[in-house]
Structure 1
Amino acid sequence: MNARDVETKTRSWLFTPATRPERFAKAGPAGADVLIVDLEDAVRPEEKTIARRQLGNLLSQPFSSTAALAVRINTPNSRSGLDDLAALLDAEFQPAFIVIPKVEAAQTVLQVEALLREVASDARVVPLVESRQGIAVLPEVLATASRVAAVMFGAGDYAGDVGVQPASFALSVARVQISAACVASGIRAIDAPCFEIGNSAALEHEIGFAAANGFDGKAAIHPSHIGPINEAMTPDAAKIDWAHRVIAAAREGAAMVDGRMVDEAIAREARRVLSRA
C-alpha cells in the first residue's frame, strides 16, 4: 500500500515516554488512534539507553492494541537519533509510523526511508515540522519522499525558533501553511498537542482551529484530551455519506456528485474524510 493512501485512523496521537512501559497498553483503552512511544523530548539524556531497551522489549512481539504504534526518534542528525534508528532497524517487529523530529531538509526524510527499505520495513514516516526552515522545505519533502503518512506540527519548538509566545498569531499562520501544503499533496496534517492539560477551553479552541483549517488529527500529552480530539476530528454522517458517494463515482467514472465535478482533488478530499470516519 502506498503511504499516501494509508487507511489507519490518525485523529488522535498520544505521546508517552519510552521509559514508561506500563503506559504502553493504555493508549487503546483511552481511545487514541495512535500511541507515540517517545525517545526524544520525554526522555532525559542519561535515560536514552534505557528507553531504547524498553522499546526493544515492546518491538520483540506484535503490538497488541486498538491503537497503531508510532515511535518518535531523536533527530537523525544526532548520535542519539542514529542509535534510535539502529535499534528500530534491528527490532523483530516494526512500528506503523516513525516520527522524525526537527526536519529541515528533504534529505533527512529520504535517508530514513532508504534505511527502512534496506530492512524491508513497512513503517511509514511522519516528519515533525518545528522551525521556519521546516516549513520552507515541507513542499520539497512532500514532493520527494514516498513514505510520508502525515506531517505533525511542533508548536513548542516552533515558537522558540521564531521567538514568539505559544499563543501568538505566528503559530496560527504556521499551522495554516502546514495544512495547506499537506492538503495540496494529499497528506494528513496533525496538530501539536495542547500543553494546558487542565484547561478545557484552551483545548477546545485549539481543536476547533485545527479542524476548521485542514488538520486531520491532533497530538496529545494526556489521555483526557483524546475524547475531545476524536469527537472534533470525526466527520458527521452526511459528510461520510458524501465521501462514500464520491469514491464510488470516481471508481465508476462518473462526472458529478451533488453538483461538484469529481476530479482527483475531490476524490482526495473524500479519502481524507473517510480516513477520519
Structure 2
Amino acid sequence: MDMLVRSWLCIPALKEGLEEKVIQSTADIVLLDLEDSIPLNSKQVAREKLLALNHSIWSDYDLAVRVNALSRPEGVRDLVFLMDNNIVPKYLVIPKVESAGELRILSELQSVTGARTKIFGIVETLKGLRGIDAVINDSVNLCGLILGSADLSSEISFRLSTSALMQIKCEVALAALSVGLKVIDTPCFNLIGDKLLREEVEAAKALGYSGKIAVHPSQISMINRLFSPSETELEKARAIIASLGSPDLPMAIASIDGEMIGPPFEVHARKMLALQELVVSKNNKRAL
C-alpha cells in the first residue's frame, strides 16, 4: 500500500488563487480539473493556469489533473499540452473510460516521455461500466478506478436510487479490487450537513473503497477521518497479529472476544496498520 488516497479535492483549473488553495488544502490529493467544470471556450486558458503554477508545486504536493476524455479532441490537446510543457502531476485522471485502447495509448505516450504519473480512470458511462473487466485487465499503468455517478445518472435518464447506486458501487469495487486496483467513491453533492456524507463514506469503506472525491473543502475532514483506521480498529488489528503470531498457538486460528480469527484476518490487520503508517507520515509532513 503506497498511496494515501482518502480525499480528492476537485478544483477547477480556472479557480482564482489556485496555487494558494493547493498549498492550504488538507486533502490527500488536490484534483485540478480541465474537464466538466471548464467551458469549451476556456479550455486553453485553464491549461495555461496550470502552466502558471510554480514548477516546484508539482513535486512538492500530491496533485492530480483530470483531463478531458481521450476520445475527444480536447483530451488529446490536454495531454499534448502537459507533455510539451513538462507538467508531470503525480496522478492523471481520465474521464469516461470505455475501452482499454484509450489507456493503452496513454501508456505508450508515458513510456516515450518517461513520465511516472499514476493513472486513475473514471467509470461514468454505461459502456464503461459494462466493459469494465476489459479495461482493467488490458491496462498497464492503471492504478485505480473512480466512480462517477452524475454522468451515469444522466445517461440512465433518472435519478439513481440509493439501492441502484450501491449495486453499481459494489460492481466497480469488485472489479477493481480483484486486480489490486484502488477504488475511489463518487462525490457527495449535498453540502448541507454531514449526515449523507458520513453515510456514503461508511458504505463505500465497507465495500473496500479507499477514498472519495470532495467537491468542497468542508468535506475533507470527515472523509479523511472515516477512511483512516480508528483507534478501536488499530487495537483489534494489533491483537489479531499478536494472537496469531503466538508460538503457543497449536493451529493457525485463534479467538478474540469470542470471535474466531485466522490468516485472512491477519492480512486485513496488517493492511490496517500499513494504512495507519501512511496517515501518520502524512500528518507529520503537514506539521513541518
Mark yes or no: TM-score above 0.5.
yes
Residue 170 and residue 118 in structure 1: after superposition, are their counterparts in 2 closer, same or farther (change >3 A)?
Answer: same
1:145-180 Cα shifts (integer Å, max 9, x gaps): 222222100010011122231444221111111111
Give, in whole Å, the separation in 2 of the partners of 1:109 and 1:95. Answer: 17
Aligned to 1:224: 218
Larger Rg: 2
In structure 2, list runs of 5 or more residues that go unmatched: 245-250, 255-260, 280-288
Residue 44 and residue 17 in structure 1: after superposition, are their counterparts in 2 closer, same or farther (change >3 A)?
Answer: same
- Output the amino acid matched with 1:236: S
Q: Give the % identical residues.
A: 26
Aligned to 1:79: 73
Give, in whole Å, the separation in 2 of the partners of 1:274 and 1:244. Answer: 15
Aligned to 1:48: 43
Figure out how many residues of one structure are paired with residues of the other and give that number: 263
Aligned to 1:261: 263
Among candidates 95, 101, 107, match of residue 89 of structure 2: 95
Give, in whole Å, the separation in 1 of the partners of 2:20 and 2:59. Answer: 8
Give, in whole Å, the separation in 2 of the partners of 1:64 and 1:244. Answer: 38
State yes or no: 1:126 paired with 2:110: no
Aligned to 2:274: 274
Give, in whole Å, the separation in 2 of the partners of 1:84 and 1:244. Answer: 49
1:175-201 Cα shifts (integer Å, max 9, x gaps): 111111122111111001111112322
Residue 63 and residue 208 in structure 1: after superposition, are their counterparts in 2 closer, same or farther (change >3 A)?
Answer: same
In structure 1, list runs of 5 or more residues that go unmatched: 250-254
Aligned to 1:22: 17
8 A contact 1:245–1:257 mirrored in 2: no
8 A contact 1:59–1:92 mirrored in 2: no
Aligned to 1:34: 29
State yes or no: 1:195 paired with 2:195: no
- Larger mean CA deviation between 11-20 and 266-275 belongs to 266-275
1:110-163 Cα shifts (integer Å, max 9, x gaps): 111111111000001100000222122222222222222221000100111222
Give, in whole Å, the separation in 2 of the partners of 1:183 and 1:106. Answer: 17
**TM-superposed deviation, 1:206:** 1.3
Residue 138 and residue 256 in structure 1: after superposition, are their counterparts in 2 closer, same or farther (change >3 A)?
Answer: farther
Give, in whole Å, the separation in 1 of the partners of 2:269 and 2:124. Answer: 26
Give, in whole Å, the separation in 1 of the partners of 2:89 and 2:268. Answer: 26
8 A contact 1:59–1:93 mirrored in 2: no
Aligned to 1:63: 58
Question: Which residues of 2 match residues 4-19 of structure 1 at below 5 A?
Answer: 7-19=2-14
Residue 201 and residue 261 in structure 1: after superposition, are their counterparts in 2 closer, same or farther (change >3 A)?
Answer: closer
Give, in whole Å, the separation in 1 of the partners of 2:25 and 2:146. Answer: 21
1:78-113 Cα shifts (integer Å, max 9, x gaps): 110000000111233410111000001111111111
1:189-219 Cα shifts (integer Å, max 9, x gaps): 1001111112322212211211122111000
Give, in whole Å, the separation in 1 of the partners of 2:30 and 2:133. Answer: 27
Residue 217 and residue 85 in structure 1: after superposition, are their counterparts in 2 closer, same or farther (change >3 A)?
Answer: same
Residue 205 and residue 57 in structure 1: after superposition, are their counterparts in 2 closer, same or farther (change >3 A)?
Answer: same
State yes or no: 1:171 paired with 2:173: no
